[in-house]
Amino acid sequence: MTRVAFAVSRDYEPVPSQWYENVEEEESFRVLSVDEDSELVEIEYLDGDIEELDLEAWHEMDLEKIAQPEGWSESDEEDADEDEEYDEEDDEDEDDWDDDEDEDDVDEERDEY
């Protein structure tokens, strides 16, 4: 009896926010958007590069669905910017509070005399 190996098709439909690995290229990426009208799939690689593929090219790739890579966050940069803005606001608030405290101390000293 002869055994014949069949290639298993992993023909996944592109799903926004889903992560995939291109097995042949050993590259991981996530789908950003799918435009059914123009038959384009927009993807983002781990290094931040963005590419558009037509659906035909998509279906020719050997893909596996994968979990979101560890440490990946699409808004890491946005969060860092927000943290910096928040810290600056805190510093301003602390400065105001310190000024108020100093004024209260002066007022208390005046009341004592």
Per the rule left: phi > 0, alpha: psi between -120 and 50, beta: everything else, 9 is beta
Q: Which amino acid is at 106?
A: V
- pLDDT, position 80: 45
**What pLDDT digit, counting tens, does each position of 22-46 carry?**
999 999 999 999 999 999 999 999 9
User: Hey, where are the domains in the chain?
Assistant: 19-66, 75-113
pLDDT at 19 over 90: yes
DSSP strand pairing (63-66 vs 50-54): unpaired
- pLDDT, position 5: 47
Tally of CB atoms within 10 A around 112: 6
Per the rule left: phi > 0, alpha: psi between -120 and 50, beta: everything else, 76 is alpha
- pLDDT, position 72: 81
Count of CA atoms in the C-beta half-sphere (13 A) of 82: 5
